[in-house]
Structure formats: structure tokens, C-alpha cells
């Protein structure tokens, strides 16, 4: 019994410490819209007033109001938004507000403790805790008439409610490892990870207000490699091609349905996020060598990604 109480005390201490550290950095957003005022959350991540939130929270608006834990309100302006990652960067007059530290979601493990801080139902500074339920999920989202997928999201059972979107998902040390983006069902919350890919996106949004991406025109899902191939390459999985857009750079290069993409530009394609990272910035118009497995044989092709239309 004493051990159980000790474990609960340790758990409580972690959650309390993270809450004390993060609550001052998380703002409640008031966003004007055609159907009235919307609500969301945002987390301050630089000392000069840059905030991170979900792109869908500020969709179609240029500014709004942010209120921090101390009750002080400040106007914010939208610096840039990227619907494909559901991330947006805002700027406000943060004054004495402390900035949160960004972490690395690539180091998360299933079952790890996470703490969510946001403003659900307009209740500022609300804190919930739970565990990482799954990693690498895909989140379907609607953009106009089109359905897009936000890949590589974090699934957690930390309670999220309307208004939590844009809030912080933190590890046990109080580092922001995700931006809460959706409630997918009871006990099922989703967050966009903070990792090298999204750090690049955040940097581009902060500097230029937009993100340039390369487009390959292929969709893949993780698939195990044959044992002999896995042993030879030191790589357990590749990406099985489930869609090739006709006339796309992938189609022109000779990539077909059922192929397993093994590597690109010398990088092992053992996860969707690896290919996503290759499609940022400098990949536009550059030769992209791809090695794939087709009917048990290795095939080398070269694709030239084009810029994805915004």
C-alpha cells in the first residue's frame, strides 16, 4: 500500500510540476468568425512573442485576442498557417510571459506519460494527463472539397475537449512534444508532433509565413521487408506504395502500385515521416534517387519532385 501511495505521489508531482511550468505559457484564443467568435489555445514558444497553435483554429482570419493565465489580453496576428500539418504561428505582445521549451516527439514511447494544457470549453489553463496511446497515426482532415491526411500524429488518452486545439502536449519534463489538434472520440485525443520535420515547418512559417513543399505523387504505408532483405540492409520496414497519381513525378519515374520503397536520397524509408522530411524545401526540382523492391528484386529509379501547389 505504501508503494502504491508513493507511486501516486510521484505521478502527482510530475503532473503538478509540468502544469506549473506550462500554464503561464498557454493562452486562450478568441478568434472572430462569420458565425461568431471561435475559441482555441496557443502556446508561446519564443521570448519575442511567437505562439504555436493549430492551423484550423485560425483558418480564414488574420488576427484575434490571446489571454494568458495572468488574465492579461493581447492582440495576436497570424504570421503563417500550414493546413497540411495543421500548424500555425502567431505573434503577440507577450511582455513578461515565459516561453515554453519545445521538445522532440521522435523520442516518445507508447505508454509514456504526457500532460495536456489548454483551454477546453473556455476554461483557461486546464490540465489533464494520460499516456501516449499510439504513434504514427494519420488524421483525416477536410480542406474545401478535398480530404487530406495529417500523417504521424500522436494518439493520447489525456482528455481533450473543444477549445483544447492548439494547446500543448508535454512530456514529464515539461517540454512541448505536440500541439493538440483533435478529439477523435471518448478517451482518444490527437496531437501534431514537435520533431525535426515540424520544427522546419515552424521555422518556415515564422520566417516567411508559408511552407514550400515538393510533391512526389505517391502514397505509402509501412510494410515489413522480407527477412533476407531486412538482414542484408539492416532495415526491417519500407513503404508499400498504395497510390501513384497518374502523370506525377513518381509515375513518370516508373514507381508502381505494390512496390516497396526502401530508400530515397540515401535515406532508409522505414517510416512515412522520413519521406515527408525529404519533401521539404530543397527537394523541389532536384533529382531524387529511389531504391525499391519489386517482386523480390531491387530497382533503382530517379524522380524529380515538383512544387506542391498551395
Residue 206 annotated in active site: no
56 is catalytic: yes
Specify the DSSP class assigned to residue 257.
T
What is the Cα–Cα distance from 25 to 175, expressed in whole angstroms? 12
Closest CA to 176 of 116, 102, 107: 102
**Torsions phi, psi for 182 (to 5 deg):** -160, 155
The three cell numbers locating residue 2? 505504501
> What is the C-alpha to C-alpha distance for residues 44 and 53, in angstroms, rounded to an integer?
9
Reference 105, options 181, 163, 206; nearest CA is 181
The residues near 254 (Cβ < 8 Å, ≥ 6 apart) are 299, 301
Distance, CA of 4 to CA of 8 (rounded, Å): 6
Q: Can you tell me the distance from the alpha carbon of 220 to that of 234, in angstroms, rounded to the nearest whole number?
A: 20
Instruction: Quote the cell numbers at residue 19.
Output: 502544469
Please say whether the dihedral angle defined by the alpha carbons of residues 113, 118, 124 and 125, taken in this order, is positive or negative.
Answer: positive
Cα-based torsion angle of the residue sequence 143, 310, 211, 268 in order, rounded to the nearest 10 degrees: 80
One of 41, 56, 85, 259 is an active-site residue; which one? 56
Selecting among 133, 164, 165, 248, the annotated active-site residue is: 165
From residue 90, give the alpha-carbon distance in Å to each of 45, 49, 178, 213, 220. Answer: 10, 8, 17, 21, 33
Selecting among 82, 86, 171, 259, the annotated active-site residue is 86
The catalytic site residues sit at 56, 86, 165
Amino acid at each position: 500500500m505504501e508503494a502504491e501511495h508513493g507511486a501516486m505521489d510521484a505521478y502527482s508531482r510530475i503532473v503538478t510540476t509540468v502544469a506549473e511550468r506550462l500554464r503561464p505559457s498557454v493562452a486562450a484564443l478568441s478568434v472572430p468568425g462569420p458565425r461568431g467568435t471561435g475559441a482555441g489555445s496557443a502556446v508561446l514558444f519564443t521570448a519575442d512573442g511567437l505562439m504555436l497553435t493549430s492551423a484550423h483554429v485560425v483558418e480564414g482570419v488574420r488576427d484575434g485576442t490571446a489571454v494568458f493565465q495572468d488574465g492579461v489580453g493581447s492582440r495576436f496576428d497570424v504570421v503563417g498557417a500550414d493546413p497540411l500539418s495543421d500548424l500555425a504561428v502567431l505573434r503577440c505582445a507577450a511582455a513578461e510571459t515565459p516561453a515554453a521549451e519545445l521538445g522532440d516527439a521522435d523520442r516518445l514511447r507508447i505508454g509514456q506519460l504526457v500532460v495536456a494544457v489548454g483551454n477546453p470549453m473556455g476554461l483557461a489553463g486546464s490540465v489533464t494527463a494520460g499516456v501516449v496511446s499510439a504513434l504514427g497515426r494519420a488524421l483525416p482532415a477536410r480542406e474545401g472539397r478535398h480530404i487530406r491526411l495529417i500523417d504521424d500524429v500522436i494518439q493520447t488518452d489525456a482528455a481533450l475537449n473543444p477549445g483544447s486545439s492548439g494547446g500543448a502536449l508535454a512530456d514529464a519534463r515539461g517540454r512541448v512534444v505536440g500541439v493538440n489538434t483533435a478529439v477523435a472520440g471518448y478517451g482518444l485525443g490527437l496531437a501534431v508532433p514537435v520533431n525535426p520535420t515540424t520544427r522546419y515547418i515552424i521555422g518556415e512559417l515564422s520566417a516567411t509565413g508559408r511552407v514550400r513543399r515538393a510533391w512526389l505523387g505517391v502514397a505509402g504505408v509501412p510494410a515489413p521487408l522480407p527477412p533476407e532483405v531486412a538482414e542484408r540492409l539492416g532495415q526491417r520496414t519500407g513503404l508499400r506504395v498504395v497510390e501513384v497519381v497518374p502523370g506525377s513525378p513518381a509515375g513518370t519515374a516508373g514507381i508502381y502500385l505494390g512496390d516497396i520503397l526502401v530508400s530515397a536520397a540515401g535515406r532508409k524509408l522505414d517510416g512515412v515521416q522520413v519521406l515527408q522530411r525529404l519533401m521539404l524545401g530543397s527537394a523541389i526540382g532536384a533529382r531524387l534517387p529511389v531504391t525499391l523492391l519489386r517482386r523480390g528484386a531491387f530497382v533503382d529509379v530517379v524522380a524529380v519532385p515538383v512544387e506542391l501547389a498551395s
